[in-house]
A and B are shown apart, each in its own frame.
With several copies, the nearest count.
Chain A
Amino acid sequence: MLSIEHLSKDMGEFVLKDATLQVNDGEYMVIIGPTGAGKTILLETLAGIYPPDSGRMVLDGRDITDAPPRERRISMVYQDYMLFPHLTVAENIGFGLRNQKVAQPEIEQKVAEAAQFLSIDHLLHRYPETLSGGEQQRAAIARAVVMEPALLLLDEPLSALDGRTREKLRRELRRLHDAYGITVIHVTHNFEEVFSLADRVAVIRGGEIVQVGTPDEVFRKPNCEFVANFVGVENLFRGTCARKEGLSEVTIEGVKMVSTALADSEMVCVTIRPEEILISPQPIGSCARNQYSGMVQEIADHGVTVRVTVDCGVSLVVLITRQGYLEMGLAEGDAVFVAFKASSVQIF
């Protein structure tokens, strides 16, 4: 288990402020945040590249705060591979084992195994520059896992790859994690990687970790306006909140919404995820507690999905599939009905 305790580091342009985080054994932790949020500096401090200004890091009960990188049992994979260009793929993968003075036959065997697992065994004698981006990243991952690290750090490992390669390698990472039960911290700004990989996700902003939880918790129940905005919550309103029958009733510009969430204060922020709102030209016969009639303001066609903005006192954005959209035959100016459950209304 890794505990990061009140870790701070000021590098001028990038900072880490009092970051505290626990990663359990075998957990796949994804850290997500905007550019410049301090994601890379966190990983590099963990790897021991810079000494922290304050705070501690404890890995499997061992305080590694002042240990040099080579004694930490932490491996790192960068976005741009960082394969040593003067070494072959096999020499790259075996680099760490050679430093540990492992016997040559054992190195060869371990390299071959890792390469086979990542389907690059046919590339072992090539030099990195002759490989595609996806192949290079596989080699970099092999070089990291062959060390059998206690913790694997991935710094936007898929960001430099194109769509298809990225998806393939994402599956490989999942498979690698499942097969070896390796503990991973994976930094990204891509939401899809959160949903397909993360056991838990941490949101980082300006060097601070602002929320940690399962992907569902973080994306459905952001705990502050920054997270809500960052994870792309479209329907974000401010209103006043009152208790009513064990539920909360929020009033936003005269429109009342019922929520199962309970607020701490009277002034609250409210979000409803666009894909959790039902829309129909006919009144909706459903048990949803929040039902409104309104008018279609704007329709934005994104290909697979269609975003419909409905004015029902407040402007609600509703996300539907293109097929649903075509079936309903919606047009701007149409009268429509929208509905969503009390449990879909997040308050913070």
Chain B
Amino acid sequence: MRQPNLLKAVTVGVAACLTIFIIILLLLVVTHPSPAALLSSITSREIQFAVYLSIVTSVASTVICILIAVPSAYALARYDFFGKNAVNTIVDMPLALPPLVAGVALLLFFGTTPIGKGLAEAGLVFVFTPLGIVVAQVFVNFPFMLRIMRSTFESISPRYEYVAKTLGCTDVQALWQVTLPMATSGLIAGGVITWAKGIGEFGAALMLAGATRMKTETLPISLFLNMSCGELELAISAATILIVISVASLYVFERYGGSTSL
């Protein structure tokens, strides 16, 4: 008699229950309002503004994350330098740091230090403005981009660059012509997850940019404001949009980044 595999049944069972629970939760949110109410909420000026602000800030923060994270990740993957271990640990810091604390730290930096005041005088005001939302998203999310790109670069043998250099490339050309094209799927996976996290960013943005209706009202802030004052229809429609965005980005991420590690 062939024996049933108990261990497989139990472990797969746990994974399946978990999956079903998550699906139920998402469906609960999405199906809560009536389609008509959902439609009217989504077309309301407030939600339209939140969608617009969320997309603008998250795209801007994703681009900045890429510009910061790609060179840093390349340095960490390819070069040995003094303090590399410390850098490796500290750039992961925002991963472990609660976003709320990150927001307070940014608030102190832009609100109380000479650098922050200088920037404000030059017209770059971060406290309680949409610019602050971008900075908050960048600070909280670049470690995801950096970790993905670091592991992507580490998975590409430096010998591709060595060969490219013997074939006439400078260092920068070898990176541009060989390593970056080979890192495309990592870039896509990292970009998508950074963007999705940016759209969902709440804690840090709340501290630095505040929650001002129609001014710093991104989708999560809108969800928070409308939950606080009992506008359940508006809150749920913001949540629904966020769920759709998360599901779509996760799909793209798993597609391109299934092998890369966060």
Chain A residues within CB distance 8 Å of chain B: 44, 47-49, 51, 66, 68-70, 72, 74-76, 78, 80, 82, 84-86, 95-96, 99-100, 143-144, 147
Beyond A70-B167, A96-B166, A96-B167, 8 additional pairs, beta carbon < 8 A: A47-B162, A47-B166, A66-B1, A68-B165, A69-B165, A75-B166, A84-B164, A95-B167
Q: Given that A47-B162, A51-B2, A68-B3 are known contacts, is A86 also in contact with B181, CB under 8 Å in the complex?
A: yes
Min CB–CB distance A53 → chain B (angstroms) = 12
Q: Report how far A47 CA is from B174 CA in the complex, Å.
A: 15
Interface majority SS (helix, strand, loop, mixed), chain B: helix
Q: Given that A68-B3, A70-B169 are known contacts, is A76 also in contact with B181, CB under 8 Å in the complex?
A: no
What residue in chain A is nearest B170 (Cβ atoms)? A70
Most buried by B among A75, A96, A100: A96
18 example contacts (A-B, Cβ-Cβ < 8 A) are as follows A48-B165, A49-B162, A68-B170, A69-B165, A69-B166, A75-B166, A75-B167, A76-B163, A78-B159, A80-B159, A82-B160, A82-B162, A82-B163, A84-B182, A86-B182, A143-B167, A144-B166, A147-B167
Residues on A with C-beta less than 8 A from B170 are 68, 70
Q: Is B157 an interface residue, CB under 8 A from the partner?
A: yes
Q: Is the CB of B166 within 8 A of A76?
A: yes
Of the candidates B1, B157, B167, B182, the one whose C-beta lies within 8 Å of that of A99 is B167
Min CB–CB distance A223 → chain B (angstroms) = 33
What residue in chain A is nearest B165 (Cβ atoms)? A69
Residues on B with C-beta less than 8 A from A76 are 162-163, 166
Q: Is the CB of B166 within 8 A of A66?
A: no
Q: Is the CB of A84 within 8 A of B159?
A: no
Min CB–CB distance B156 → chain A (angstroms) = 10
Q: Is B259 an interface residue, CB under 8 A from the partner?
A: no
Min CB–CB distance A11 → chain B (angstroms) = 10
Of the candidates B162, B178, B182, the one whose C-beta lies within 8 Å of that of A44 is B162
Min CB–CB distance A29 → chain B (angstroms) = 18
Q: Is the CB of A99 within 8 A of B173?
A: yes
Q: Is B83 an interface residue, CB under 8 A from the partner?
A: no
Q: Report how far A49 CA is from B171 CA in the complex, Å.
A: 10
Residues on A with C-beta less than 8 A from B167 are 70, 75, 95-96, 99, 143, 147
What residue in chain B is nearest A72 (Cβ atoms)? B166
Of the candidates A72, A82, A86, the one whose C-beta lies within 8 Å of that of B159 is A82
Min CB–CB distance B199 → chain A (angstroms) = 30
Q: Is the CB of B182 within 8 A of A69?
A: no
Chain B residues within CB distance 8 Å of chain A: 1-3, 157, 159-160, 162-170, 173, 178, 181-182, 184
Min CB–CB distance A309 → chain B (angstroms) = 36
Min CB–CB distance A185 → chain B (angstroms) = 13
Q: Is the CB of A66 within 8 A of B169?
A: no
Residues on A with C-beta less than 8 A from B168 are 70, 96, 99-100, 147
Q: Is the CB of B169 within 8 A of A99?
A: yes
Most buried by A among B159, B160, B178, B181: B159
Q: Report how far A84 CA is from B159 CA in the complex, Å.
A: 11
Most buried by A among B167, B169, B178: B167
Min CB–CB distance B98 → chain A (angstroms) = 35
What residue in chain A is nearest B181 (Cβ atoms)? A86
Residues on B with C-beta less than 8 A from A100 are 168
Residues on B with C-beta less than 8 A from A69 are 162, 165-166
What residue in chain B is nearest A66 (Cβ atoms)? B2
Min CB–CB distance A291 → chain B (angstroms) = 54
What residue in chain B is nearest A12 (Cβ atoms)? B80
Q: Report how far A144 CA is from B87 CA in the complex, Å.
A: 38
Q: Report how far A14 CA is from B169 CA in the complex, Å.
A: 26
Q: Report how far A253 CA is from B190 CA in the complex, Å.
A: 64
Q: Report how far A69 CA is from B167 CA in the complex, Å.
A: 8
Q: Report how far A305 CA is from B173 CA in the complex, Å.
A: 49
What 7 pairs across the A-B complex have the smallest Cβ distances? A99-B168, A96-B167, A69-B165, A86-B181, A70-B168, A66-B2, A82-B163
Residues on B with C-beta less than 8 A from A99 are 167-169, 173
Q: Report how far A84 CA is from B180 CA in the complex, Å.
A: 11
Q: Report how far A230 CA is from B173 CA in the complex, Å.
A: 42
Min CB–CB distance A56 → chain B (angstroms) = 13
Q: Report how far A66 CA is from B1 CA in the complex, Å.
A: 6
Residues on A with C-beta less than 8 A from B2 are 51, 66
Min CB–CB distance B80 → chain A (angstroms) = 10
What residue in chain A is nearest B1 (Cβ atoms)? A66
Residues on B with C-beta less than 8 A from A143 are 163, 167
Residues on A with C-beta less than 8 A from B3 are 66, 68
Of the candidates B163, B165, B169, B178, the one whose C-beta lies within 8 Å of that of A78 is B163
Most buried by B among A66, A69, A72, A143: A69
Residues on A with C-beta less than 8 A from B178 are 84
Q: Report how far A66 CA is from B4 CA in the complex, Å.
A: 11
Most buried by B among A74, A84, A96: A84
Residues on B with C-beta less than 8 A from A66 are 1-3
Residues on A with C-beta less than 8 A from B1 are 66
Q: Report how far A76 CA is from B162 CA in the complex, Å.
A: 9
Min CB–CB distance A231 → chain B (angstroms) = 29
What residue in chain B is nearest A147 (Cβ atoms)? B167
Q: Report how far A68 CA is from B162 CA in the complex, Å.
A: 11
Q: Report how far A70 CA is from B165 CA in the complex, Å.
A: 5
What residue in chain A is nearest B178 (Cβ atoms)? A84
Most buried by B among A72, A74, A95: A95
Q: Report how far A85 CA is from B160 CA in the complex, Å.
A: 10
Q: Report how far A27 CA is from B54 CA in the complex, Å.
A: 66
